[in-house]
Structure formats: C-alpha cells, structure tokens
Amino acid sequence: MSNIIDSNDKDALATAIRTLQTNPKMRNMGFAQSLVHQYIRSKGHGLMPYDLARPLSPKQKAWAIKLANGCLNNPVKEVKVDNTLQEQINKLRNDMTHNSFAQSLVKQFDSRGSLSPKQKDWVVKLVNEIGKPKAPKANKFTMQDFTSIVTLFKNALSKLKRPKITFVNNGTAFALKPSKDLQWVHVSAPEYGGNYYGKISVQDGTWVDGRNINQEVADFLNDFAKDPVAKSQEYGKRSGVCCFCHKCLDREESLEVGYGPVCAKNWGLPHSYRSNGKAVQGLYSR
C-alpha cells in the first residue's frame, strides 16, 4: 500500500487531520477523533479561549498520517440501498420500538446500508409479526380470577395516587401496586430490583406469570382473592401490621378490625372507629 500523504511534507499533519475529519469511517472511530480534537485545541480553536491542549506527539502524528493513508487507499464504497429492505426497516423503526433486537437491526442498517442474509430473514419475520396478537403463555400454577383484587385497587385510586398492599408471608415480603398506566396490578418484592412474581390485568382480572413466581406466592394470592377485605383483616389481626400502609396497629379498635380508620376510608373498607379506644403496643415494634 502506497503512502498518499508523505510524512516529510510540512503540511502532512494538517492534510491527515482533514482526512480524519471528513472520512465517514474515521468519524465513528474514537481514537481518530481524539487526535482530531487534540490537534484543533492545540491550535487554539477550541470552544473557549482557555480550551488549549498540548501539540500532538511524534507518535500521535505518525498515527494520524497512518490512519489517513489507510482511508485514502481504501475509499468508502457506495452501498446500493435495497428499497424493499428500507421499507421493512422503517416498519420496525416505527412499530417495534419496544423490541431491542428489532431496533438493533435498524441501527445496523442505518450505519451500513445493508444487512446479512440471516439478518434480512429476521427483518421479514419481525415485520410479519407486527399487528398479530401474541398467544398468551401458560401460567406455571393454577391462578383464579383476581377481579376482586382489581376492584379493591379501583376503590383506593379514588383517594390515593399510589395505593399499595404489602404482605410478609413465611418470611417472604411482596407488594401489590398498580402500573403507571393503570392497566396492571404488579406483584413483586417491595424493594427495587427484587423478585418479580407477575401481574394482574385490570381489564379482566387475569394473571400473567413473572420470572420469580412460586407456589407459595400463588397460593397466597389465590387465597387473598377469595375475600380481600376479610383476608386483609386476618393479616392485620395476626401480624399487628396494616397491609395497606405497613404500619403497626396501635389502637384497640384497629387491632380488632385489622387495619386503621385512615386506611379504611382510603380503601373503602368498614371500620368501627371509637374515639375512646385505648392505645396498645403493636405486636411488631417499628
């Protein structure tokens, strides 16, 4: 390979830098662009007056010329764009924004102008899936209708912005809370990034398994859905903790009912509040 830029030429470095600035392949190469930026700043052409850098070292100059010569000896070939593939890519771009694999194909096509035969097959397959409803996956465990739980949350949403129910069952803590779009009730560990057990459809009360669903959680939810109010009361009486606010119950009447008057009002539940009820120490200290 012949050197088009002669390193002995006094303008060799400036010519090399211009090549690295304008060549499409070099614009995406971090090392080449770091040489360009350092050269520009060393000449006092930075964004700020004080944005100066030391001149390129002899080794950096040699690299800049070497990279530029490589570009000039191997010019970027013009890629003929496949119009059919372009149309399919645009469909993935607009209709499969949630699919990371589809978007990776879009990104590669944008950078190269083409795809491998296998990638093209995948584009066709993904485009054919657009608009088709996905067959629901079978649940690992038998789950009943959870409409009663959905109704409980609908009552709470008239009072609370982010209603949440938290339980601790045999040492396992999990929480039920609605999604931001209010289409699902998610069941997961209370802490961020913890176990995810699944979700309940607000539309019809059906269950969709999560990655960490297990028999214990499934049995608890099935039992809770039979009568959410009664089960909430049982939990509060047994644990001394309200499942709606996760606070200790410190009044006699609240321990008798299983939750406090404030949560009863927020969730639309019965409560026999007595102003002369005695304060008691909760079963669990907080």
In percent, the amount of the chain with pLDDT more than 70 equals: 85
Confidence of residue 146 (pLDDT cuts 50, 70, 90): very high
Question: In the predicted model, what is the mean pLDDT of residues 168-188?
Answer: 91
151 and 261, same structural domain?
A: yes
pLDDT at 84 > cutoff 80 = yes
121 and 92, same structural domain?
A: yes
262 and 159, same structural domain?
A: yes
- Write out the two tokens for 218: 């499934």
208 and 233, same structural domain?
A: yes
Highest mean pLDDT: which range of 39-53, 84-98, 128-142: 84-98
Instruction: Give a yes or no: residue 57 inside a domain.
Output: yes
Instruction: Give a yes or no: residue 281 inside a domain.
Output: no
In percent, the amount of the chain with pLDDT more than 90 equals: 35
94 and 55, same structural domain?
A: no
258 and 187, same structural domain?
A: yes
156 and 110, same structural domain?
A: no
Instruction: Give a yes or no: residue 231 inside a domain.
Output: yes
111 and 151, same structural domain?
A: no
30 compared with 228, residue with greater pLDDT:
228
What integer best gives the mean pLDDT of the chain?
Answer: 82
For the whole model, what pTM was predicted? 0.52
Instruction: Give a yes or no: residue 280 inside a domain.
Output: no
pLDDT at 97 > cutoff 80 = no
Give the model's pLDDT for residue 283: 41
Confidence of residue 152 (pLDDT cuts 50, 70, 90): very high
Give the model's pLDDT for residue 285: 36
Give the model's pLDDT for residue 77: 53
Instruction: Give a yes or no: residue 284 inside a domain.
Output: no
Q: Domain span at residue 120?
A: 83-129
125 and 55, same structural domain?
A: no
Lowest-pLDDT range of 65-79, 212-226, 234-248:
65-79
Can you tell me the distance from the alpha carbon of 136 to that of 122, in angstroms, rounded to the nearest whole number? 22
Q: What is the pLDDT of residues 259-278, one digit of tens each?
A: 999 999 999 998 876 655 55
Give the model's pLDDT for residue 46: 46
Instruction: Give a yes or no: residue 28 inside a domain.
Output: yes
99 and 29, same structural domain?
A: no
Q: What is the pLDDT of residues 102-125, one digit of tens each?
A: 888 988 888 777 788 899 999 999
- Write out the two tokens for 102: 């589809």
Give the model's pLDDT for residue 200: 94
Which residues, at least 6 apart from 120, have a Cβ–Cβ distance to it below 8 Å?
Answer: 85
Residue 19: what are its φ and ψ, rounded to 5°? -65, -45
Domain count, the chain: 3
216 compared with 133, residue with greater pLDDT:
216
Instruction: Give a yes or no: residue 137 inside a domain.
Output: no
Instruction: Give a yes or no: residue 139 inside a domain.
Output: no
